[in-house]
Structure 1
Amino acid sequence: MKKTSIALAVTGAVIVAGLGTVPAASAFGSAKAVGLAGGGTTLVGFDPERPSRASSPQTVTGLVQDTALIGIDYRVQDGELYGVGNQGGIYVLDARRGKAVLQDRPRVTLDGSSAYGVDFNPAANALRIVSSNGTNLRVPFATAAAAIVDGPLTRPAIAPATGTVPATGVTAAAYTNNDLDATTATTLFVIDTERDQVAIQSPANAGSTAATGALGADVSGDIGFDIYSDLRRGKTTKIKAYAVVGSTVHRVDLLTGAAPAIGKLRVGGVTDLAVALDD
């Protein structure tokens, strides 16, 4: 995908009310999303529109050197669910059984005391990892290279101060438009839990963030966040964003930050969210 404009990615957020039913994820039958909970050691499948309908949590097994996962996401290039370990391992996950199979260890240095956001850039075929300590990493899958340390996360200073300041509260990230159409743009949205706001990270490699709206609630720590893309003939036509704070699932308006609650999961402590890809 070429990044010609962020217009499609952003305006898609204002028509989410017209989005049809999210297709089911094959890993969970009727479930359409996977949550990472239990301190990064369990996976739970659920319908984000009916979060009380959840599968039994599955303990993650098969980690090598890692003791937990810091984030999960679906990769549009192969449709697989991936997880990132707390020591930098990258795994393909069988969410139904909780099995993790190590794919690579791209020498990612992670701070065990920080919260992380993980998401695939569908255009670049690269994994983005952001952190509450301001870290901004990129793992290119096409070249199997080591992780690239991009520009640290920053945000505009609060008036009357000018310029930018370190963004030390970003704990969730999600790209729009998960398709392989070469004409589709993609935009990286993040959630800043220090300022309780939704922001665009652009340029993503530079780490510059700009708020689009306040969440209207006090959130803190690691939360789940992902954006679903509704496809028509292989191209994104609408998007819908979800966040999980603790056990409560929210819809998120990416332009205003409004995050009305949908309902609660039977498990708490969700630290990441992966919404199924459209087929």
Structure 2
Amino acid sequence: MKKGFLIALGLAGVCLLTGCGGGGGGDSSAATYGVTDTGRLVKFKLGSPGHIDRNVVISGLEGGESILAIDFRASNGLLYGLGSTSRLYAIDPATGEAAAVGGVMSPLISGQYFGIDFNEVTDELRLVSDTEQNLRIDPDTGAVINVETPVSPVESLVACAYTPASGGLTTLYGIDAFSNKLVRIGGLNGTPSPDLGEVTEVGSLGHNAVADTELDIHAEVGAVFCTNS
């Protein structure tokens, strides 16, 4: 298993993509799910990543396919994964069984590193990549709702996360692995919309990010960063 890997944190029935390489407080006993570089789904407590409570093979993928990013959907509590063949999957956290949601996306995903996160307001999945791809995906069909304006200016956007919805509003943030900075995609509370691709620097991460970096934001857990190394 890698030192760092994609993980999803479950807390009070709402599970979100987060990370394990840096810090930001939170409930150390929260159930956490990880995808290793060997295609296994593991479960552990946030404060005890060295103690694995569950370790299962992710099955049901296409031959040679891997999971590139994961996130839990707040509206139904299901875990979703982005496949390397441009497919969206619903993954059973207990068994690792993956079921394709629809077919191959159009356009195909583009890049090597990806971030996905559910917008609690619209219940849509946002996808960004290190090639400036900016998509909205329907989690019920797996189809691309719209190809949005490429994210810019940014060198290598590899992760994204929405703030918890408040008053029907949410803000999208991301990580630029090239500059090691936290950025905002769109404006505060979604005005202007992240669909327009405008990126604004927020500040330094305080540590060196790598391409396999993930980000999550939660009202109770806070923000947690993960770097794969």
Give the TM-score normalised by structure 1: 0.64
The verdict on how the C-alpha distance between 1:148 and 1:68 changes in structure 2, with shifts beyond 3 A counting, is: same
Aligned length: 199
User: Are 1:45 and 2:43 counterparts?
Assistant: yes
CA contact (8 A) 1:43 1:58 kept: yes
CA deviation digits over 1:44-91, x for unaligned, max 9? Answer: 223223333333443211013670111110111111111111112111
Residue 70 of structure 1 corresponds to 68
User: Are 1:177 and 2:164 counterparts?
Assistant: yes
CA contact (8 A) 2:101 2:140 kept: no
Q: Aligned-pair distance for 1:175?
A: 0.9
* Aligned equivalent of 1:59, options 57, 60, 78: 57
Residue 162 of structure 1 corresponds to none
Kindly name which structure, 1 or 2, has the bigger radius of gyration based on alpha carbons: 1
The verdict on how the C-alpha distance between 1:99 and 1:133 changes in structure 2, with shifts beyond 3 A counting, is: same
Residue 109 of structure 1 corresponds to 108
Residue 199 of structure 1 corresponds to 183
Secondary structure at the residue paired with 1:154? Answer: coil
CA contact (8 A) 1:118 1:174 kept: yes
CA deviation digits over 1:232-273, x for unaligned, max 9? Answer: xxxxxxx51112112xxxxxxxxxxxxxxxxxxxxxx6xxxx
Secondary structure at the residue paired with 2:144? Answer: coil
User: Are 1:186 and 2:173 counterparts?
Assistant: no
The verdict on how the C-alpha distance between 1:228 and 1:58 changes in structure 2, with shifts beyond 3 A counting, is: farther
Q: Which amino acid aligns with 1:79?
A: G
Larger displacement relative to structure 2 (70-79 or 90-99): 90-99
Give, in whole Å, the separation in 2 of the partners of 1:144 and 1:221: 25
Taking the TM superposition and a 5 Å limit, the aligned residue runs for 1:144-155 are 145-155=143-153
Q: Aligned-pair distance for 1:140?
A: 3.0
Taking the TM superposition and a 5 Å limit, the aligned residue runs for 1:1-279 are 21=27, 31-38=30-37, 41-64=39-62, 67-105=65-103, 106-111=105-110, 113-141=111-139, 145-155=143-153, 167-177=154-164, 183-202=167-186, 203-230=193-220, 240-246=222-228
Q: Which amino acid aligns with 2:176?
A: D
- Root-mean-square deviation (CA, aligned residues, Å) is 2.5
CA deviation digits over 1:192-243, x for unaligned, max 9? Answer: 101101111113111111121101222221222222234xxxxxxxx51112
Larger displacement relative to structure 2 (187-196 or 217-226): 217-226
